[in-house]
Amino acid sequence: MSRAAEVTLAFGGEERLFRLPLGRLRALQEKTDCGPLELLQRYAMSTWRVDDVREAILQGLIGGGLSSHEATSIVQSHFDDTPVMGHVPVAQAIVAAAVVGTGDEAPGETQARGQKKTRSRAARSGSRRSTEQAQP
């Protein structure tokens, strides 16, 4: 899992990568007629609609790298003739990953990871400190 708005979850008997980049989020909004935060609220309040769950999974699979045809086939096989309630946590995790990420890093840490760490100018200086450090 990472802050790249992707998450790996079990679906259809396999671990699958789900991702909702901007284009997939827009498609999800169009299909559900609501934004991602409203969708998360629907899941939490149990006011979701069938397509709120199905489309999040479908768009997440497409965003995760499957073709539209492959993703539709998987959803038809493992969603369409099964109880919907069991899929709500999967859909919720997919949308949550797109909105808030799933990693423990602070924003910007991923970009900074490859950069050389530098100390502050004062720490690099050979000068004595102007004040003494407090004793613990």
The residue segments making up the domain with residue 42 are 6-105
Residue 87 forms part of a structural domain: yes
Residue 84 forms part of a structural domain: yes
Question: What pLDDT score does 119 carry?
Answer: 45
For residue 120, pLDDT over 50 is answered with no
Cα 10 from chain centroid? 15
For residue 110, pLDDT over 60 is answered with no
3 vs 7, 20, 31, 57, 85, CA distance in Å?
9, 12, 25, 19, 27
Residue 131 forms part of a structural domain: no
Residue 75 forms part of a structural domain: yes
Q: Could you give the angle at the alpha carbon of 119 between the alpha carbons of 116 and 124, nearest 5°? A: 125
Average pLDDT value over all residues in the chain: 83
Residue 114 forms part of a structural domain: no
Q: How far apart are CA 18 and CA 12, in angstroms?
A: 13
Residue 113 forms part of a structural domain: no
Q: How many domains is the chain partitioned into structurally?
A: 1
Q: How far apart are CA 27 and CA 36, in angstroms?
A: 11
Average the pLDDT over 114-131 and give the result: 50
Question: What pLDDT score does 8 carry?
Answer: 96
Residue 76 forms part of a structural domain: yes
Question: What pLDDT score does 125 carry?
Answer: 54
| pLDDT, tens digit (0-9, with 9 covering 90-100), for 2-59 | 456 899 999 999 999 999 999 999 999 999 999 999 999 999 999 999 999 999 999 9
Residue 116 forms part of a structural domain: no
